[in-house]
Amino acid sequence: MSGDTRARILAEALRQFAARGFDGTTISSIERGVGLAEGTGSFYRHFPSKRAVFDAVVEHELARLRAIRPEREPRGADGGTRPLSERVADDLRFLREVRPLVEILIRERDGMPHVAERVRDVLVERGLAGIAGDLATCGERGGEDPAAAATVLLCATVGYFLTTEFFGELPGGVDVERYAGTLARLLGGS
Protein backbone atom coordinates (compact mmCIF):
# COMPACT_ATOMS: atom_id res chain seq x y z
CA MET A 1 0.00 0.00 0.00
CA SER A 2 2.93 2.34 0.60
CA GLY A 3 5.18 1.19 -2.20
CA ASP A 4 3.12 3.07 -4.76
CA THR A 5 3.22 6.36 -2.91
CA ARG A 6 5.14 7.81 -5.82
CA ALA A 7 2.37 6.87 -8.23
CA ARG A 8 -0.29 8.32 -5.92
CA ILE A 9 1.71 11.55 -5.71
CA LEU A 10 1.81 11.69 -9.52
CA ALA A 11 -1.96 11.31 -9.80
CA GLU A 12 -2.70 13.78 -7.02
CA ALA A 13 -0.23 16.33 -8.41
CA LEU A 14 -1.86 16.09 -11.84
CA ARG A 15 -5.25 16.83 -10.32
CA GLN A 16 -4.02 19.77 -8.30
CA PHE A 17 -1.83 21.30 -11.01
CA ALA A 18 -4.79 21.16 -13.38
CA ALA A 19 -7.22 22.62 -10.86
CA ARG A 20 -5.10 25.26 -9.18
CA GLY A 21 -1.97 25.71 -11.24
CA PHE A 22 1.67 25.29 -10.27
CA ASP A 23 1.80 28.17 -7.80
CA GLY A 24 -1.59 27.32 -6.34
CA THR A 25 -0.44 23.80 -5.54
CA THR A 26 1.72 23.33 -2.45
CA ILE A 27 3.85 20.43 -1.31
CA SER A 28 1.72 20.31 1.82
CA SER A 29 -1.52 20.03 -0.15
CA ILE A 30 -0.09 17.17 -2.19
CA GLU A 31 1.02 15.41 0.96
CA ARG A 32 -2.42 15.82 2.43
CA GLY A 33 -4.03 14.56 -0.78
CA VAL A 34 -2.13 11.27 -0.64
CA GLY A 35 -2.60 10.74 3.10
CA LEU A 36 0.77 11.93 4.33
CA ALA A 37 1.04 14.29 7.27
CA GLU A 38 0.81 17.87 6.07
CA GLY A 39 3.88 20.07 6.37
CA THR A 40 6.34 17.25 6.87
CA GLY A 41 8.78 16.84 4.02
CA SER A 42 7.76 13.25 3.28
CA PHE A 43 7.13 14.29 -0.31
CA TYR A 44 10.86 14.74 -0.82
CA ARG A 45 11.52 11.03 -0.30
CA HIS A 46 9.82 10.48 -3.67
CA PHE A 47 10.66 13.58 -5.71
CA PRO A 48 13.61 15.94 -5.31
CA SER A 49 11.59 19.13 -5.89
CA LYS A 50 8.23 20.58 -6.84
CA ARG A 51 9.49 21.24 -10.33
CA ALA A 52 10.58 17.61 -10.67
CA VAL A 53 7.12 16.25 -9.92
CA PHE A 54 5.65 18.79 -12.34
CA ASP A 55 7.90 17.60 -15.16
CA ALA A 56 7.14 13.98 -14.31
CA VAL A 57 3.41 14.68 -14.43
CA VAL A 58 3.67 16.27 -17.87
CA GLU A 59 5.78 13.43 -19.26
CA HIS A 60 3.43 10.83 -17.86
CA GLU A 61 0.39 12.55 -19.38
CA LEU A 62 2.02 12.97 -22.78
CA ALA A 63 2.91 9.28 -22.89
CA ARG A 64 -0.62 8.28 -21.86
CA LEU A 65 -2.22 10.49 -24.50
CA ARG A 66 0.01 9.24 -27.28
CA ALA A 67 -1.15 5.76 -26.36
CA ILE A 68 -4.89 6.46 -26.47
CA ARG A 69 -4.98 8.95 -29.34
CA PRO A 70 -7.60 7.79 -31.85
CA GLU A 71 -6.10 6.17 -34.91
CA ARG A 72 -6.55 7.98 -38.18
CA GLU A 73 -6.89 6.28 -41.52
CA PRO A 74 -6.99 2.88 -39.82
CA ARG A 75 -4.67 0.31 -41.31
CA GLY A 76 -6.76 -2.49 -39.79
CA ALA A 77 -8.34 -5.25 -41.84
CA ASP A 78 -11.88 -3.83 -41.77
CA GLY A 79 -10.78 -0.86 -43.84
CA GLY A 80 -14.23 0.65 -43.60
CA THR A 81 -14.32 4.43 -43.51
CA ARG A 82 -16.49 5.57 -40.66
CA PRO A 83 -18.79 8.55 -41.12
CA LEU A 84 -17.30 11.95 -40.45
CA SER A 85 -19.72 12.62 -37.61
CA GLU A 86 -18.44 9.58 -35.72
CA ARG A 87 -14.87 10.75 -36.18
CA VAL A 88 -15.75 14.15 -34.75
CA ALA A 89 -17.38 12.43 -31.78
CA ASP A 90 -14.21 10.35 -31.36
CA ASP A 91 -12.12 13.50 -31.30
CA LEU A 92 -14.37 15.11 -28.71
CA ARG A 93 -14.09 12.06 -26.47
CA PHE A 94 -10.31 12.16 -26.86
CA LEU A 95 -10.24 15.86 -26.00
CA ARG A 96 -11.97 15.12 -22.72
CA GLU A 97 -9.03 12.90 -21.83
CA VAL A 98 -6.63 15.68 -22.75
CA ARG A 99 -8.36 18.18 -20.52
CA PRO A 100 -6.02 18.04 -17.48
CA LEU A 101 -2.94 18.57 -19.62
CA VAL A 102 -4.58 21.37 -21.59
CA GLU A 103 -5.55 23.03 -18.32
CA ILE A 104 -1.92 22.84 -17.18
CA LEU A 105 -0.60 24.04 -20.52
CA ILE A 106 -2.89 27.05 -20.64
CA ARG A 107 -1.81 28.23 -17.22
CA GLU A 108 1.87 27.35 -17.37
CA ARG A 109 2.81 27.69 -21.01
CA ASP A 110 5.24 30.54 -20.28
CA GLY A 111 8.31 29.07 -18.71
CA MET A 112 7.76 25.72 -20.38
CA PRO A 113 7.77 26.39 -24.13
CA HIS A 114 9.09 22.91 -24.91
CA VAL A 115 6.02 21.37 -23.29
CA ALA A 116 3.73 23.72 -25.20
CA GLU A 117 5.35 22.55 -28.41
CA ARG A 118 4.97 18.86 -27.59
CA VAL A 119 1.32 19.23 -26.62
CA ARG A 120 0.76 21.23 -29.76
CA ASP A 121 2.34 18.42 -31.73
CA VAL A 122 0.11 15.76 -30.18
CA LEU A 123 -3.06 17.80 -30.56
CA VAL A 124 -2.89 20.31 -33.36
CA GLU A 125 -0.38 18.99 -35.86
CA ARG A 126 -1.52 15.39 -35.86
CA GLY A 127 -5.10 16.54 -35.45
CA LEU A 128 -5.01 18.61 -38.59
CA ALA A 129 -3.22 15.98 -40.61
CA GLY A 130 -5.73 13.38 -39.50
CA ILE A 131 -8.67 15.65 -40.18
CA ALA A 132 -7.41 16.50 -43.65
CA GLY A 133 -7.18 12.75 -44.20
CA ASP A 134 -10.74 12.33 -42.94
CA LEU A 135 -12.00 14.84 -45.46
CA ALA A 136 -10.03 13.19 -48.24
CA THR A 137 -10.93 9.57 -47.50
CA CYS A 138 -14.56 10.49 -47.02
CA GLY A 139 -14.42 12.01 -50.47
CA GLU A 140 -16.39 14.97 -49.22
CA ARG A 141 -16.35 18.40 -50.67
CA GLY A 142 -13.90 20.68 -48.91
CA GLY A 143 -15.24 23.44 -51.08
CA GLU A 144 -12.77 25.33 -53.21
CA ASP A 145 -10.22 25.28 -50.37
CA PRO A 146 -9.96 21.82 -48.79
CA ALA A 147 -7.00 22.78 -46.58
CA ALA A 148 -8.92 25.67 -45.05
CA ALA A 149 -11.96 23.43 -44.64
CA ALA A 150 -9.81 21.02 -42.64
CA THR A 151 -8.73 23.94 -40.44
CA VAL A 152 -12.36 24.88 -39.89
CA LEU A 153 -13.14 21.30 -38.90
CA LEU A 154 -10.26 21.27 -36.43
CA CYS A 155 -11.12 24.65 -34.90
CA ALA A 156 -14.82 23.84 -34.67
CA THR A 157 -13.98 20.65 -32.79
CA VAL A 158 -11.46 22.21 -30.45
CA GLY A 159 -13.73 25.23 -30.02
CA TYR A 160 -16.68 23.14 -28.91
CA PHE A 161 -14.48 21.38 -26.40
CA LEU A 162 -12.90 24.52 -24.96
CA THR A 163 -16.13 26.49 -24.87
CA THR A 164 -18.05 23.82 -22.98
CA GLU A 165 -15.17 22.98 -20.65
CA PHE A 166 -14.17 26.53 -19.78
CA PHE A 167 -17.40 28.48 -20.06
CA GLY A 168 -19.88 25.84 -18.98
CA GLU A 169 -22.84 24.52 -20.88
CA LEU A 170 -23.53 25.93 -24.30
CA PRO A 171 -26.68 27.98 -24.78
CA GLY A 172 -29.31 25.89 -26.45
CA GLY A 173 -27.71 22.81 -24.93
CA VAL A 174 -26.31 21.28 -28.08
CA ASP A 175 -24.91 17.91 -27.04
CA VAL A 176 -21.97 16.09 -28.59
CA GLU A 177 -23.95 13.93 -31.03
CA ARG A 178 -26.02 16.82 -32.32
CA TYR A 179 -22.95 18.99 -32.69
CA ALA A 180 -20.91 16.31 -34.46
CA GLY A 181 -23.79 15.54 -36.79
CA THR A 182 -24.37 19.17 -37.71
CA LEU A 183 -20.69 19.84 -38.26
CA ALA A 184 -20.34 16.78 -40.49
CA ARG A 185 -23.42 17.76 -42.47
CA LEU A 186 -22.14 21.29 -43.05
CA LEU A 187 -18.90 19.85 -44.37
CA GLY A 188 -20.82 17.63 -46.71
CA GLY A 189 -20.29 14.33 -44.92
CA SER A 190 -23.05 12.18 -43.55
Partner DNA sequence: GTCTATACGACGATAGAC
Partner DNA sequence: GTCTATCGTCGTATAGAC
Of 151, 64, 125, 55, the C-alpha closest to 99 is 64
Contact 121, 129 (CB under 8 A): no
Report in angstroms how near the CB of residue 16 gets to DNA at its nearest: 10
The interface mask with a second copy, positions 100-139, x = CB under 8 A, is -----xxx-xx-----x--xx--xxx--xx----------
- Residues 38, 68: Cα–Cα separation, whole Å: 35
User: Of 13, 46, 102, 180, which lies in the binding site for DNA, with binding defined by CB under 7 A?
Assistant: 46
Q: Does 62 bind a second copy (CB under 8 A)?
A: no
Q: Does 176 bind a second copy (CB under 8 A)?
A: no
Report in angstroms how near the CB of residue 166 gets to DNA at its nearest: 25
Q: Does 182 bind DNA (CB under 7 A)?
A: no
Contact 142, 172 (CB under 8 A): no
Contact 95, 158 (CB under 8 A): yes
Q: Does 87 bind DNA (CB under 7 A)?
A: no
